[in-house]
Amino acid sequence: MQGDVMEVPHVINDEYVADPVRRVHDYLLEKRDQGAHLVGLYCGYAPVELIRAMDGVPVSLCSSSRRTIPAAEAVLPANLCPMIKSSFGFIRTNGCLLYELSEAVIGETTCDGKKKMFEMIAHIKPTHIMDLPQLPDDGEVLLRWTGMVRKLKNFLETVFQVEITDDRLEDEIRETNKKNSLMDRFFDYAACHPVPVHWRELYDVIGLDPVTDSDELQRHMEGITSRLDKRVDRGIFFGYHDSPRVLVSGCPIGGDAAKVLQIIEEAGGVIVALEACSGMKGYSIRIEEGTGDPLTAVAEATLKIPCSCMTPNGRRLDMLDELIVRFKPDVVIDVVLHACHAYNMESYKIMNHVKAHHGLPILKIETDYSDGDVEQIRTRVEALFDSL
Amino acid sequence: MPFNVADVEPIINDEFVGEPNKRALQYIQTKRSEGMPVAGIYCGYAPMEVIRAVGAVPAILCAFANKTIAAAEAVLPANLCPLIKSSYGFIATDTCPFFALSDAIVAETTCDGKKKMFELISHYKPMFVMDLPQLPDEKEAEANWAAMITKLKGFMEETFGNSGSPARIEEEIKATNEKNRLMNRFFDYAAKKPPVLKWSEAYELALLAQIAYTRDLHPIFEKVFKQLEEREMKGVCYGTGSSPRVLVTGCPVGGDSAKVYKIIEEAGGVIVAMDACTGMKPFLSEIEEDTGDPIAAVARRYLQLPCSCMTPNMRRLNELDKMIARFRPDVVVEVVLHACHSYNIEAYKIMNHAKNKHSLPYLKIETDYSDGDVEQIRTRVEALFDSL
């Protein structure tokens, strides 16, 4: 941190700044007390607009702690993605309050591990699995996926005895678009050089998305941008002018996996872009408004998510191109969670693309939620920065 | 574990005894020299009737050798299923004669690893990737899969310059059913107590029968059944009446992973049932005839394949029940290839089912194509048999 002040107030300057988890809990409990239905999710392919259109609340379920992994490994193989093991372990130990609060759960056939893990939890709560097409460029793919989104709508309507109207869905499409635009504009600060916003603040602001409507998010953003503008005016920024700017790509990173981001920072890098689903990925997508067929519009938008579960996943390269142009990184770090075959194998393409098209160094880090590899990762990140 | 008499004539007594791949290669070369195009396949979901209806001969591509894995690991992660690594390695080193003979490749989105591996080989040959539904019990799955099969047919017609009429598909459906009935008559000899058939014989004929046109198999079946009847008359049997009867379930087993079969045999067991795509699975069910919509009939049948890529894969438990009733095993051994998440996770269900419903001892063996774990597996299999 550079500049003329030692203590810079957090971009979100409210009572929850020190405890963003409590923000989520308080919000959900309040919503539940107001009679809203809570629906648990594990993935960005679940169309949240449908849940909001029935005045329900989408809840991202616990999946990022190593604490619950030993309990999971009593049933699941050890050689499996830590996110899946952690998710299952949370449920097995009744350790995820968000799951306890959820009245139904939505899963998708995104990867082998999740697909089979869902089988093990499907008996606990009403659980709906969406058959996700894997060929996003196929001619009929939108038709197939729209069919699945319609089935989800039927599931929600049946379980909660509600009707999800096209008008309400259209409203929620506009809400999502407004929020995504607000969030996307906020990311402009990470594109500044030097960077006035810290990666933890990026996460904290992204964390406002599930607990706000567009008006509330707008109000938050007013405070956030004014604080960030002040930082820029006063020359307050993170790192140094010549700190390596890092784009982090790959698997979702949060909780115990955020060690990688911490290490990058400690090694002298500044994180300017977080490509993953836990970061910026969803916010560049807009849902077409006023089509008269909001269900198809929602389906079309979710299919644009450039996840490695898709084949071929050319959109991820396009998105990387955009992120690289916008955030001007000096290096790309691809984080792959242990045994996540899809991201692990796609990493080869990402490496070639980043080197050949952008002339940028790239480092792949395969890791899990333990801290056993922290010093090894540090050595590799430091070596990468030394080589710049 | 030998036969109880010496000098038992090999079940297919030709110059390829013990070398089923060479037999298959010769068959495909002959067909190709007669002008038939070759469709390379990796999986039991490739609809053989449609491949044959367009006048092509299917070739099962190389996937079972340890020797090509090192070359694959230059690109693919080490922590990946050996079958996928081996397949890719064969192509990277240009050493799979079946791939060299193939005019096109048929692929499916069965698992994360294969799906992403196909991306890396898609530039070698014309390739069609089929988006496989993963929820086979949902009512739209059949229509979606039938649409994919129709697309595959279009791709092959274009690539091979042939056409496949519904009448030709219907003929091939009938040919498959005839073949499957013959194969099941053959497998009945393994169900006998003691078995009259050795696992390697079942494996050899199954491998040829998967790729060959039924009409070409008739002379072979004639000799096979004649021999088996003779064996019965002479009291020839495999193992002894007290040898533990083993049902092997799980991932495809062949080539270097056939070490597991050999170890079971060396430990005194007789393998009476091979519940894998390399064994009996492709032949177990028939395709509905004369429906007027042969592609829908084919789609329905392939979706019934109880692969762990499906969720929930209850059919596997049902099929297992039938196999246990038919082959009367004393133990169930599950073979999971390293890092095959779906079979690995599903193994938990299979274990509970074998133990609780059938009171059969169950052993899961997680292995790869190396020979580093041979003695460890032997110790576990011997301990299993000792405990009977």
Residue B345 at interface with chain A, using a CB cutoff of 8 Å? yes
Question: Could you tell me which residues come within 8 angstroms of residue B111 by beta carbon, excluding any fewer than 6 positions away?
Answer: A112, A341, B81, B309, B340, B341, B342
Return the pLDDT at A5: 45
Residue A308's closest CA among A364, A371, A243, A231?
A364
Quick one: which H or E segment has residue A361? none
Q: Domain boundaries in chain B?
A: 20-155
A80, A109, A345 member nearest B77 (Cβ): A345
CB A310 within 8 A of CB A135: yes
Report all structural domains of chain A as residue ranges with CATH numbers, in order of start.
1-388 (3.40.50.11900)
A249 min Cα distance to partner chain B (Å): 17
Percent of chain B scoring above 90 in pLDDT: 97
A136 has a chain B CB within 8 A of its CB: no
A4: confidence class by pLDDT, cuts 50, 70, 90: very low
Lowest mean pLDDT among A12-21, A256-265, B358-367: A12-21
- Say whether pLDDT at B273 is over 90: yes
At A6 the pLDDT is: 52
Q: Is B246 helix (H, G, I), strand (E, B) or coil?
A: strand
Options 3.40.50.720, 1.10.760.10, 3.40.50.11890, 3.30.420.10; CATH for B20-155 is 3.40.50.11890
A1 pLDDT above the threshold of 80: no
A229-236: long-range pairs with CB below 8 Å, 24+: A231/A3, A231/A8, A231/A196, A232/A189, A232/A192, A232/A196, A234/A3, A234/A4, A234/A5, A235/A2, A235/A3, A235/A4, A236/A1, A236/A2, A236/A3, A236/A4, A236/A5, A236/A8, A236/A196
Tokens (6 digits) for A52 = 């909001």
Mean residue pLDDT of chain A comes to 96
Tell me the β-bridge partners of A104.
A39
Give residue B1's pLDDT: 62
The answer for B 347-386 residues in CB contact with A (under 8 A) is 348-349, 366
A135·B109 Cβ contact <8 A: yes
Task: Answer for the pair B83, B251: CB distance below 8 angstroms, yes or no.
Answer: yes
So what's the pLDDT on residue B344?
98
Q: Which of B77, B111, B138 sits opposite A131 (nearest CB)?
A: B138
CB of A314 within 8 Å of a chain B CB? The answer is no
Cα B27 to Cα B46: distance, rounded to the nearest angstrom: 19
Residue A2 pLDDT exceeds 60? no
Residue A388: other Cβ atoms inside 10 A: 10
**ipTM score:** 0.96
B342 interaction partners in chain A (CB closer than 8 Å): 112, 115-116
Mean per-residue pLDDT over chain B, rounded: 97
Nearest residue of B to residue A128, measured between CA atoms: B135
Given an 8 Å threshold on Cβ–Cβ distance, is A339 in contact with B339? yes
- The pLDDT of residue B246 is above 80: yes
Write down the pLDDT at residue A3: 45
pLDDT above 70 coverage of chain B, percent: 100
Query: Residue A149 in contact with residue A137, Cβ under 8 Å?
Result: no
Q: Among A140, A311, A313, pick the best mutation site for testing chain B contact (most B Cβ within 10 A).
A: A311
Interface check for B283 against chain A (CB to CB < 8 A): the answer is: no
Distance CA A63, CA B106 (A): 36
Q: Quote the minimal CA–CA distance from B367 to chain A in Å.
A: 12
Contacts of A122 in chain B (CB under 8 A): 312
Candidates B80, B88, B108, B112: best to mutate against A (most CBs of A within 10 A) is B112
Q: Among A267, A266, A378, A275, which Cα is nearest to A335's?
A: A275
